[in-house]
Structure 1
Amino acid sequence: MPSPRRPLASPCRGRIVFVVLLSALLLLSSAAHSAEESTRVLSVGEELVGETMPLRNGRRVYRINGLRPSAWYEVKISYPASIPSSFSIRLVDDPDGADWSSKNRRLLNTEKIIFKAEGSNPVYVLVTVEPEGVVAKPNVPEREHALFNIGTGSLAKIIWNPNRLGCLMTIKLES
């Protein structure tokens, strides 16, 4: 008759508990870190140069800091035309509850979105990218990441000019 199994010795049991706790801590910290990376901060008057995101299904939310209530702002994205891609940009209220559908504004090599800050609620901008077209050079692999710059600035005045077929003319405030 085999002898019954002995319970683990106290030092061994302590090590197992330590390893389990350490693993749980690492998983929680990596989840928090990935959530941090998905939302980045963009301050008024600042440009983030050399931002990258995956070219296929790339998505990133930027929280805009430094907004004054009732002021007008623009967020502008620029990217090289040599990367066949289609960017889009739009405002979202909640970065976690953002609808990732394709109701976005399509961008050409440079585009901007103009909005008015309402109250003290945080403003988030959702940027997405998808590949578009093909690489024209033979034996050149497609890129995996899209490169772009994003910046925000305040607008000093919005002027209505009825002689310009309803166009808005904006005067940019240098920051």
Structure 2
Amino acid sequence: MPPLPPLSSPCRHYRHRVLLLLQVLLSTLILPSARSLEEVRVLTVGVELMDEAMPLRHGHRLYMLNGTRLSALYEVKISYPASIPSSFSIRLVDDPYSMEDWGSKNRRLLNTEKIIFKAENSKPVYILAMVELKG
């Protein structure tokens, strides 16, 4: 006797919906934090980065500064072509995973954004670079 095909029951569809809901919840809760971890790049003291790129609309990149010494002063500067109609900003971030308004309060220079700071403790220093398209 051949096996009977499975019955289409509401319980079976419910279980499928629950699994789908769990997949959606996991992708919205776990994957953004995993993506955030992937986005952190290392910026080493004394090593210049060249040809970094990020999206012009709501673009941001988080760097962890490596190689700082206590009580030393540091300058982080980004330069960009004047032909790009956009606004760049950089700032120090204590908690790289907090969702706050990441505006810049630094001095503006022509086609350059820079921040000067002093390493005050042994905690990691994070620098957030952002770009917003103008016009």
Choose between structure 1 and 2: higher strand proportion. 1
Instruction: Kindly indicate whether the alpha-carbon contact (under 8 Å) linking 1:92 and 1:98 is maintained by their aligned counterparts in 2.
Output: no
Q: Once the 2 structures are TM-superposed, how far is the Cα of residue 131 of structure 1 from its aligned partner?
A: 0.8
Counterparts of 1:1-175 in structure 2, within 5 Å, are 4-5=4-5, 34-105=35-106, 108-133=110-135
Identity of aligned residues (%): 60
Q: CA RMSD in A?
A: 2.9
C-alpha distance in structure 2 between counterparts of 1:99 and 1:32, whole Å? 15
Q: Which runs of 5+ in 2 are unaligned?
A: 7-26
Distance 1:86 1:100, change over 3 A: same
C-alpha distance in structure 1 between counterparts of 2:104 and 2:49, whole Å? 25
Q: Which runs of 5+ in 1 are unaligned?
A: 7-26, 134-175
Tell me which amino acid in the other structure corresponds to 1:57.
H
Distance 1:50 1:57, change over 3 A: same
Distance 1:112 1:103, change over 3 A: closer
1:32-51 CA-partner distances (Å, limit 9, x unpaired): 76334311110000111111
C-alpha distance in structure 2 between counterparts of 1:36 and 1:107, whole Å? 31
Runs of 4+ in 1 over 2 A off after TM superposition: 3-6, 30-37, 100-108
Instruction: Kindly indicate whether the alpha-carbon contact (under 8 Å) linking 2:58 and 2:131 is maintained by their aligned counterparts in 1.
Output: yes
Tell me which amino acid in the other structure corresponds to 1:59.
H
Aligned pair count reads: 113
Distance 1:39 1:63, change over 3 A: same
Q: Once the 2 structures are TM-superposed, how far is the Cα of residue 101 of structure 1 from its aligned partner?
A: 3.9
Instruction: Kindly indicate whether the alpha-carbon contact (under 8 Å) linking 1:88 and 1:107 is maintained by their aligned counterparts in 2.
Output: no
1:28-70 CA-partner distances (Å, limit 9, x unpaired): xx76763343111100001111111110000111100000011
